[in-house]
Structure 1
Amino acid sequence: MPLLFVGIDPSTGDKQSPTVWADVEQQELVFQGWKPGPELEAECAATEAPGHAIGIPEGEAVIRIPARMLHIVREACDVLEANVR
């Protein structure tokens, strides 16, 4: 099943397009967002959290999406929740 488009940053301009999709088959949220600056990425990589290794594992990334997209993220969660297997 293809990704289900849920929403795009309402303030999207010509060159920016943070976007949220729902992958119902994989039961995952998919985000497109801004790459962080090196300072934020380093801070994320160095932050200790229970059950989380230090660093950013290969194949993972830190992204940023604006708070004005919270309603879109909630909608994407609702899409997945309605399609839980």
Structure 2
Amino acid sequence: MALAFFGTDPTSGGGNCPAVWVDTDSADGPELVLQGKSADAATRTACSRDSPPAVDETVIRIPARMVEQIRKACDAAEAARTQL
């Protein structure tokens, strides 16, 4: 697994915070890897109306202040995909 780290919540003080990586070695091509707070039951129920999660999926929350890190990770994942 080749994880490229793109950052954490800029207002956090270090570990135990939302974070974003790109895995460039995934069998299905590059994937974003996100760490965030587990969504509460009401949020999971609301999300399930649009897209029920599979057994191995969960709903997480990522603060909007991480858009810059996520955007950079998305750009890197797209660039890696074109290199495959």
**TM-score, with normalisation over the residues of structure 2?**
0.83
Counterparts of 1:22 and 1:8, CA distance in 2: 13
Q: Note the 1:26-45 alignment, pairs <5 A.
A: 26=26, 27-45=30-48
Counterparts of 1:21 and 1:66, CA distance in 2: 15
**What secondary structure sits across from 1:61 in the alignment?**
coil
In structure 2, what residue type is equivalent to 1:44? C
In percent, how many aligned pairs have the same letter?
41
Counterparts of 2:79 and 2:36, CA distance in 1: 25
Aligned CA-pair RMSD: 1.6
In structure 2, what residue type is equivalent to 1:61? T
Among 65, 68, 72, which residue is 1:68 paired with?
65
Report the number of matched residues.
79
Which runs of no fewer than 5 residues in structure 1 stay unpaired? none
Structure richer in helix, relative to its length: 2
Structure 1 consecutive aligned stretches of length 4 or more whose deviation exceeds 6 Å: none
**TM-score, with normalisation over the residues of structure 1?**
0.82
Q: Aligned in 2, Cα 1:4/1:15: closer, same or farther, shift over 3 Å?
A: closer
